Amino acid sequence: MLTVIVIILGLALILYTVLGGADFGAGILEIFTGRRHEKIISEAIAPVWEANHVWLILVVVILFVAFPPIYATVSLYLHIPLLLALIGIIFRGTAFAFRHYDVVKERTAHRYYGHVFRYASLLTPFFMGMTLGATMLGRINPEASTFAELFLWPWFNLFSASLGLFTVALFAYLAAVFLVGEAEVFDQHLDSRYPRYALSGSVGTGLLVFGAAHFQGFPLLALFWNSPLSLVCIAVTTLLIPFLLAALRKGRIWWTRLLVGAQVGLILLGWFAIQYPVVIRLYGHPDLTLLNSRAPDTALFTLLIAIVVGTPLVIPAFGYLFWVFKFAQNPPQPK
């Protein structure tokens, strides 16, 4: 039962990272491309940007019900980066809604909405990455006596910041690949160099994460080296790069999306492999794991029933939403 719930948690996290990450990445790309591709980005994410948060809600609910000590620790000691990420989600969504759906396209207000949308899209994944880095680094100390030691230093450090930058770069990479297909749907041109630039940024910030971990005494490289599954994930992710670039050159849109989604999924699987069963590393205390933080079997069983009942409702509805807005309204044009 616990294994099934953990698998569902992992799948929900992957779906939010891939789908929600592509939406955040679209706003990040706008920072560098300006308003040249605003129409493509707005039309691409307008139907689904809010729906993608379903997967984040599912992750939060599973943690709250199935692993309450983990949920409590994150929401207490990492409440500052979490709050900043949530504020970013709210501001980003509000700005996008006003920018895209406002009846009166007043020029000055539209420009402000665009700025808020772009920079909230950048800051939100940055603080999400910082939160993840804090759970890995092991600087959360429940016995600390000062505000800074309790609520700042666990996440306000070089390693967490580097992981935040990596998250930003990864989301931009996802968006750059996804938007190539959207540009063709709307018969517009999107510079094919964007995915390559974003890929270079992801690789560079990924190396920065390992460098920051070494600088702060966190044996991240050793953890990967001692995990065969993580090494396989890194190797396969790397080997997929030339296939992805070839698919981009040939205009095979769905292949590029499947490949970039597989790369992100493998990155998350590699992270899970070096962590399992640990979720939060604590300073001077036993780590919080999926085993010692689990809820009673009754709660797990009830949660599993809710997921089994809800999934047949959510998945088809989500698929229909994509079909209506991505295919029914914009059928592929013959070449």
**Which tens digits make up the pLDDT trace of 160-202?**
999 999 999 999 999 888 887 665 544 455 666 788 899 999 9
* 325's tokens: 């807005």
User: Letter for the amino acid at 169?
Assistant: A
3-state secondary structure of 97: helix
Q: Give the C-alpha distances (Å, rounded to integers) separating 175 from 278, 289, 303.
A: 30, 33, 33
Q: How many whole angstroms separate alpha carbon 313 and alpha carbon 134? A: 35
Write down the pTM of the prediction.
0.90
What is the DSSP code string of 184-248?
HHTT----THHHHHHHHHHHHHHHHHHHHHHHTT--HHHHHHT-HHHHHHHHHHHHHHHHHHHHH
Q: Let me know: does 48 contact 19? Beta carbons within 8 Å.
A: yes
Residue with tokens 């009166």: 104
- Using one digit for the tens of pLDDT, what is the confidence trace for 297-322? 999 999 999 998 988 888 888 777 77
| pLDDT higher than threshold 60 for residue 330 | no
Within a 13 Å sphere around the CA of 292, how many CA atoms are in the beta-carbon half? 11
* 121's tokens: 């899209």
Q: How many whole angstroms separate alpha carbon 155 and alpha carbon 168? A: 16
Closest CA to 174 of 331, 53, 27: 27
Cis peptide, bond prior to residue 154, ω within 30 of zero:
no
